[in-house]
Chain A
Amino acid sequence: MSRDNVLHKIRTALGRGAGQAVPPPPAARIRIPQMSMDIRIASMLERVRALAGEAVATKDPLSYVAAAIAGKTAVASNAPFLAECGITGLPGVRSGVTDREELRELCATVDVGITSADYALADTGTLVLLASPQEARMISLLPPAHIAVVPRERILTGLDELFSLLPTPADATSSMVLITGPSRTADIEQILVRGVHGPGLLSVVVV
Chain B
Amino acid sequence: MSTEFAQKSHEALVDPKLQLAIYTATGRLKEKRIEAVADGVLPDYQELRTQANAIKKHTIDNLDHYLEEFERNVEAHGGKVVYCKDGTEVSDFVLGLAKERAAHLIVKSKSMTTEEVDLNERLEHHGLESVETDLGEYILQLAHERPYHIVAPALHMTRYQVADLFERELHVPQEIVIEKQTALARSVLRQKFLAADIGISGANFLVADSGAVVIVENEGNARLTTSAPKIHIAVAGIEKVIPRAQDLATFLKLLARSATGQLLSVYTSFLSGPRRGGEIDGPDEFYVVLLDNGRTRLLPDKNKRQSLYCIRCGACLNTCPVYRKIGGHSFPWVYSGPIGAILTPQFMGVQHEPALPFASSLCGACGEVCPVKIDIPKILLELRSDVKKSDAREGRNRLEKLGFRAFAWLMTHPRMFEMAGRIGRSMGWPTSKNGPLGAWLSERDLPPLPAHSFRELWSRR
Contact = CB atoms under 8 A, between A and B. Distances in A.
B282 A159 contact: no
B271 interface: yes
Contact of A137 (B92, B227, B263): B227
Q: Is the interface of A mostly helix, strand, loop or mixed?
A: loop
Interface string A131-163: 111001110010000000000000000011011
Nearest to B60: A14
Given A16-B62, A126-B264, A141-B220, A163 B245 contact: yes
B265 interface: yes
A89 interface: no
A169 B212 contact: yes
Contact of B44 (A31, A164, A181): A31
A154 to B, nearest CB: 17
Contact of A25 (B158, B244, B286): B244
B85 A178 contact: no
Nearest to B297: A13
B247 interface: yes
A191 interface: yes
A100 B21 CA distance: 44
Contacts of A14: 61-64, 299
Interface in A154-207: 159-160, 162-164, 166-170, 173-191, 193, 195-199
B189 interface: yes
B272 A170 contact: yes
A188 B135 contact: yes
Contacts of B179: 193
Interface residues of B, number: 102
Interface string A1-33: 111011101110110101010110110111100
B249 A159 contact: yes
Interface residues of A, number: 76
Interface stretch (B51-59, B112-120, B384-392, B423-431): B51-59
A103 interface: yes
Question: Which residue, of B85, B154, B270, has the highest number of chain A Cβ atoms within 10 A?
Answer: B270
A49 interface: no
Nearest to B81: A3
Contact of B280 (A98, A176, A191): A98
Contacts of A20: 65
A2 B269 contact: no
A196 B266 CA distance: 12
B181 interface: yes
Nearest to A132: B279
B336 interface: no
B278 interface: yes
B98 interface: no
A97 interface: yes
B347 interface: no
Contacts of B189: 197
B246 to A, nearest CB: 4
Nearest to A166: B245
Contacts of A190: 24-25, 28, 152, 155
Contact of B272 (A16, A25, A137, A174): A174
Given A31-B44, A124-B264, A159-B249, A187 B134 contact: yes
Nearest to A20: B65
Contact of B73 (A6, A26, A170, A184): A170
A168 B210 contact: yes
B262 to A, nearest CB: 7
A180 B260 CA distance: 14
28 contacts: A1-B84, A6-B296, A9-B292, A13-B300, A14-B299, A23-B58, A26-B58, A29-B48, A131-B279, A138-B228, A160-B249, A162-B249, A166-B245, A167-B246, A170-B270, A170-B272, A174-B77, A174-B274, A175-B271, A177-B267, A179-B266, A185-B136, A185-B182, A187-B136, A188-B139, A189-B157, A196-B182, A196-B219
Given A1-B93, A173-B272, A183-B218, 9 more contacts: A6-B85, A13-B296, A16-B62, A169-B245, A179-B266, A180-B267, A185-B218, A189-B21, A198-B266
Closest 6 A/B residue pairs (Cβ): A198-B220, A13-B299, A187-B136, A170-B272, A197-B220, A28-B246
Interface of A: 1-3, 5-7, 9-11, 13-14, 16, 18, 20, 22-23, 25-26, 28-31, 47, 78, 97-100, 103-104, 108, 123-124, 126, 131-133, 136-138, 141, 159-160, 162-164, 166-170, 173-191, 193, 195-199
